């Protein structure tokens, strides 16, 4: 029997007991992708299965699901036809594809972002899930209670707008915004809880400076899934609509063509910014480099406070193309909630009780 009395075991307990409640005797399906694809390692899968069996005393089955696709995974669908699973644990990117879907049938879903077993022993795996959820609520509440939000970055981004509307039971807010103007959060359990709730971009105007490149949001599959950018391109936005892209002709034209191509593939509105959210977890692995693997970089660093993540191309969350704003400052009514990619926990009194309640968070800041 494996010894789980160590930091790796602490991370597994945080994932499988802190993030979810799986009672003894329950049935769990672990959906994984091949380690040779370079995203999830074998040891993580093996230890998750072992912990479920030996510590949680649950029934565990597993299925290799392959690459993300625009059609359901046949091996996964075959397993689900058995209708015997209470939970699916996704150690695979396809678990992210339907993260905003309204899915109330079938097993509950846990999407895991600790992709290597070694990450479970880091703060990304061991800081308690309930501590991260409390931090997320504090950040969400501060954003939603603001009257004006300004997003900037050292490279020239400046975007100004309002938070998600506070919508009444009649479907309309005091300033006339409707439920359609609000964004929504994911419907799967994420481990760790490491991003804020998306904020609708429908009131935001200004400019966003695009660097490194464009990446897929992981919603639908298209090839190539990313577009490297050699020079900065500026996206001009008016109330959530992309008016134009400015920059060196070759780069700006490549960005426009990428949007048009992806939109044609799925019959969607290309020049639309649906929403944005901020990374929350300073323990995020920073090793993926954009010049080495733009997709891995984007789909890893989005949980870091060093990046603000936009959902674009498509009038729905999460859209199909994402923007990554580096070292963002998020100003709420003249006070910085984030400053150059760091959460300003000393600037707002409400963080004090959060840190007192969860002292493990203090080491992150």
Q: Does 2 reside within a domain?
A: no
Cα–Cα nearest to 216, from 136, 117, 293, 280: 293
pLDDT in tens, 254-311: 999 999 999 999 999 999 999 999 999 999 999 999 999 999 999 999 999 999 999 9
Q: What are phi and psi of 306, to 5 degrees?
A: -75, -5
8 Å CB contact between 259 and 225: no
Q: Can you read off the two tokens belonging to residue 207?
A: 């400019």
Enumerate residues 6+ apart whose C-beta is below 8 A from 176: none
The whole-angstrom separation of Cα 361 and Cα 10 is 16
Task: Looking at the structure, tell me whether residues 296 and 169 fall in a common domain.
Answer: yes
8 Å CB contact between 264 and 258: no
Task: Looking at the structure, tell me whether residues 53 and 194 fall in a common domain.
Answer: no
Q: Are strands 329-332 and 27-32 parallel, antiparallel or unpaired?
A: unpaired
pLDDT in tens, 320-332: 999 999 999 999 9
Q: Does 1 reside within a domain?
A: no
The whole-angstrom separation of Cα 137 and Cα 356 is 15
The answer to which of 103-107, 215-219, 349-353 has the lowest mean pLDDT is 103-107
Task: Looking at the structure, tell me whether residues 155 and 110 fall in a common domain.
Answer: no
Q: Does 350 reside within a domain?
A: yes
Query: Is 336 strand, coil or helix?
Result: strand
Predicted local confidence at residue 171, as pLDDT = 43
Predicted local confidence at residue 96, as pLDDT = 87
Predicted local confidence at residue 317, as pLDDT = 87
Predicted local confidence at residue 251, as pLDDT = 97
User: What pTM was computed for the model?
Assistant: 0.91
- Preceding amide of 348 cis, omega within 30: no
Alpha helices of 55-202 — where are they, by DSSP H? 74-80, 123-126, 129-144
β-strand partners of 151: 159, 330
Percent of the chain with pLDDT over 90: 86
pLDDT in tens, 154-213: 999 999 999 977 543 434 443 444 444 555 555 789 999 999 999 999 999 999 999 999
Q: What are phi and psi of 210, to 5 degrees?
A: -95, 125
Q: Which domain holds residue 230?
A: 129-364
β-strand partners of 214: 227
| Domain count across the chain | 2
pLDDT in tens, 123-170: 999 999 999 999 999 999 999 999 999 999 999 999 999 997 754 343
8 Å CB contact between 159 and 75: no
Q: How many helices (H) and strands (E) does the chain have?
A: 8, 19
Assign residue 31 the CATH number of its domain: 3.40.50.2300
Element of type H or E holding 253: helix 249-266
Task: Looking at the structure, tell me whether residues 83 and 186 fall in a common domain.
Answer: no
Task: Looking at the structure, tell me whether residues 173 and 271 fall in a common domain.
Answer: yes
Task: Looking at the structure, tell me whether residues 198 and 113 fall in a common domain.
Answer: no
pLDDT class for 64, splitting at 50, 70, 90?
very high
């Amino acid at each position: 029997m494996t010894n789980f009395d160590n930091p790796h075991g602490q991370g597994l307990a945080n994932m499988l007991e802190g993030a979810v409640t799986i009672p003894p005797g329950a049935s769990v399906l672990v959906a994984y992708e091949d380690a040779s694809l370079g995203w999830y390692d074998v040891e993580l899968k093996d230890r998750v299965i072992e912990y479920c069996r030996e510590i949680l005393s649950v029934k565990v089955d597993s299925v290799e699901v392959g690459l993300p696709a625009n059609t359901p995974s046949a091996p996964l669908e075959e397993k689900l036809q058995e209708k015997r699973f209470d939970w699916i644990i996704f150690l695979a990117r396809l678990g992210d594809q339907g993260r905003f879907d309204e899915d109330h049938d079938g097993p509950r879903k846990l999407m895991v972002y600790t992709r290597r077993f070694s990450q479970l022993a880091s703060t990304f795996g061991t800081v308690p899930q309930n501590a991260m959820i409390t931090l997320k609520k504090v950040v969400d509440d501060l954003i939603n209670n603001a009257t004006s939000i300004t997003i900037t970055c050292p490279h020239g981004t400046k975007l100004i707008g309002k938070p998600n509307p506070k919508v009444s039971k009649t479907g309309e807010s005091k300033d006339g915004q409707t439920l359609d103007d609000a964004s929504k959060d994911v419907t799967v359990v994420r481990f760790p809880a490491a991003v804020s709730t998306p904020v609708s971009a429908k009131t935001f105007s200004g400019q966003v400076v695009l660097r490194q490149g464009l990446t897929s949001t992981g919603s639908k599959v298209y090839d190539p899934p990313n577009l490297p950018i050699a020079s900065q391109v500026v996206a001009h936005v008016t109330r959530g609509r992309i008016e134009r892209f400015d920059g060196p002709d070759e780069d700006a034209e490549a960005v426009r063509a990428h949007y048009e191509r992806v939109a044609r593939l799925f019959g969607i509105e290309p020049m639309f910014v649906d929403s944005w959210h901020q990374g929350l977890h300073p323990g995020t692995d920073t090793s993926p480099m954009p010049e080495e693997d733009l997709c891995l970089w984007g789909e890893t660093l989005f949980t870091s406070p060093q990046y603000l993540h936009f959902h674009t191309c498509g009038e729905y969350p999460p859209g199909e193309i994402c923007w990554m704003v580096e070292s963002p400052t998020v100003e709420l009514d003249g006070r910085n909630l984030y400053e150059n990619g760091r959460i300003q926990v000393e600037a707002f009194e409400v963080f004090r009780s959060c840190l007192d309640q969860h002292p493990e968070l203090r080491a992150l800041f």
